Amino acid sequence: MSHWLDDVMDALEERQEVSDGMRDRLLALLRMCRYEYNVHTQYEDEILSSELSMARFEELNTTFEMNKLDVRYDYAPSKRKMAAFIRYICDL
């Protein structure tokens, strides 16, 4: 009886498309990372392509989150970022 529900959920997951907001999020995260110019350009092209799948979106999101530069590399970090960094350093 529950097999049809699994089939419906699988179909919905496969049909999900990456929205413009999700692409903007990836581009914002990419700007927070420091890559070589050619690698940065390749990532931009992949994000803006129409063939970006949901699985690849999740991979890129995780990659950019892990490679994001911390507040020490910002020219003028916000108070919120600075406070979060201090809490992280002080292990609070």
> Does pTM top 0.95 for this prediction?
no
- Which tokens go with 6? 């699994």
Share of the chain above pLDDT 90, in %: 23
Give the residue-averaged pLDDT of 4-24. 76
pLDDT > 80? residue 36? yes
When divided into structural domains, the chain yields a total of: 1
Query: Residues 52-76: pLDDT tens digits?
Result: 888 889 999 999 998 888 777 777 7
State the CB neighbour count (10 A cutoff) for residue 23: 15
Sequence-ordered list of residues with C-beta below 8 angstroms from that of 19, at least 6 positions apart, any chain: none
The pLDDT assigned to 15 comes to 60
Domain holding 66, by residue range, is 3-89
Question: What is the secondary structure of 37-85 as a DSSP string?
Answer: HHHHHHHHHHHHSTT--HHHHHHHHHHHHHTB--GGG-SS--HHHHHHH
